[in-house]
Amino acid sequence: MPNSFARALLAAVLAALLAPSAGSAELVVIVSARSTVGALRADQVADIFLGQVGQFPDGGEAVALDQRVGTPLRDEFYAKVAAKSPALVKAYWTKLIFTGRGQPPREAPDSAAIRKLVADNPAMIGYIERAALDASVKPILLVH
């Protein structure tokens, strides 16, 4: 009996850990529909958003556009793409700002604003909920 209870408990815990959380949205990294960028890997996206590189692989300028600090989308994005918690992202940028080696990406209030800004500027890259996609932008990375 204890063995079957332990197996059932383990199965429940695993199911809870592997199931998408209720607040979790499918995120996509986007560029303008006019951009020549096709697809990027998560590490390439992380490098752009963490200020390590300022260009897309094709050499074009890359300007990151972030969700607001404290939003679940931003926290999920950095956790999944850069493996950083909100505290680590804050510490990272605090150090770069203090040493004069960088500034964090500009922020926009929501996915609709990010989509509009990215659509209007082929140099910009942002991330939004997959449900917010339209023809003005193209997804270059599905974040899972």
* Domain CATH code at residue 118: 3.40.190.10
Residue 8 has pLDDT above 80, yes or no: no
- Residues 20-79 have pLDDT tens digits of 444 567 999 999 999 999 999 999 999 999 999 999 999 999 999 999 999 999 999 999
pLDDT average, residue stretch 131-136: 96
Distance CA 144, CA 142 (A): 6
131 located within any domain: yes
Q: Can you list the alpha helix ranges (DSSP code H) found in 1-144? A: 2-18, 42-49, 72-81, 86-98, 111-120
- Domain annotation covers residue 1: no
Is position 18 within any domain? no
Q: Average per-residue pLDDT in the chain?
A: 88
Is residue 100 in a domain?
Answer: yes
Quick check: pTM over 0.85?
no
Determine, yes or no, domain membership for 3. Answer: no
Is residue 66 situated within a structural domain?
A: yes
Domain span at residue 90 reads 23-143
Nearest to 84 by CA among 56, 47, 109, 29: 47
Tally the domains of the chain. Answer: 1
Tell me whether residue 80 is in a domain: yes
**Is residue 95 in a domain?**
yes
CA distance 72 to 9: 29
* Residue position matching structure tokens 């209007």: 120
